[in-house]
Amino acid sequence: MIKDIVIVNTGASNISSLKIAINRLGYEVSVSKNYKKIRNSKKLFLPGVGNASHVIKFMKNKNIFEEIINYKNPILGICLGMQLFCKDSEESKLGEVINTLNIINNSCILIKNKKLSVPHVGWNNVVHNNNILFKNIFQGERFYFVHSYIVPINKNTISSTFYGEYFSSSIKYKNFFGVQFHPEKSGKSGSLLLKNFLLV
């Protein structure tokens, strides 16, 4: 059994449902904003509910920012957590583009189609490329989304979803995995995805 699984306390996220989902899989997990504990973890979750500029500021103040960039073990960014892997984001209280973690050389942008309801809330289909994250998960399986910003399709995209246009519903770069949807709120398929990540 894997030990030293940590959920990053970003100061903005509602992480109780993620912790419960991991516990239900039989794993112990802690929630921390201590940079040493984050550095020494074997698996790391960067959850996401909140504002990008606020979370980046919080992580820098807690000395977490550089720890995430230099992290060598598997890490899963969820929703905002995935978006923070980009080089910059349009999500800011002041409306300007802010620099994020710069793990992947892509920008996180606002859903701009005025014909669509924003945020994108609810269940939607995910088409994947059979990455290990989606082992035993059917093509087109539905996952639960809540977001106003997207990461466009890019070379690190491992699954896509359509909402007015196709966007990256998950990405992978080296040890960095990201999902735009919320696996902890996505029933059996979400649980399986979390398990797949923990077994990477």
Whether 94 shows a pLDDT value over 70: the answer reads no
Whether 175 shows a pLDDT value over 90: the answer reads yes
Whether 26 shows a pLDDT value over 80: the answer reads yes
> Is residue 35 a contact partner of residue 63, using CB atoms and an 8 Å limit?
yes
Q: How far apart are CA 24 and CA 32, in angstroms?
A: 19
pLDDT tens, position by position, 98-109: 999 999 999 999
Strand order in the sheet with 107-110: 98-99, 88-89, 107-110, 149-150
The alpha carbon dihedral of 148, 91, 160, 145 has a sign of negative
Q: How far apart are CA 5 and CA 30, in angstroms?
A: 6
Q: How far apart are CA 109 and CA 30, in angstroms?
A: 31
Strand order in the sheet with 157-162: 30-32, 5-8, 43-46, 75-78, 176-179, 166-173, 157-162, 120-128, 141-147
Residue 12: which pLDDT band, with cuts at 50, 70 and 90?
confident
Residue 92: which pLDDT band, with cuts at 50, 70 and 90?
low
**Tokens coding 68:** 């995430």
Residue 3: which pLDDT band, with cuts at 50, 70 and 90?
confident
pLDDT tens, position by position, 110-130: 999 989 999 999 999 999 999
- Unique residue bearing structure tokens 């912790």: 19
pLDDT tens, position by position, 66-90: 999 999 999 999 999 999 999 999 9
**Tokens coding 66:** 């550089």
User: What is the pLDDT at residue 48?
Assistant: 79
Question: H-helix or E-strand containing 195?
Answer: helix 187-198
* Distance (Å) of CA 65 to CA 47, 56, 60, 167: 14, 7, 5, 26
pLDDT, average across residues 127-140: 97
Catalytic residue set: 79, 182, 184
**Tokens coding 190:** 């979400």
Share of the chain above pLDDT 90, in %: 88
Whether 1 shows a pLDDT value over 90: the answer reads no
User: What is the pLDDT at residue 95?
Assistant: 67
Whether 2 shows a pLDDT value over 80: the answer reads no
User: What is the pLDDT at residue 93?
Assistant: 60
User: What is the pLDDT at residue 11?
Assistant: 77
> Is residue 60 a contact partner of residue 11, using CB atoms and an 8 Å limit?
no
User: What is the pLDDT at residue 7?
Assistant: 97
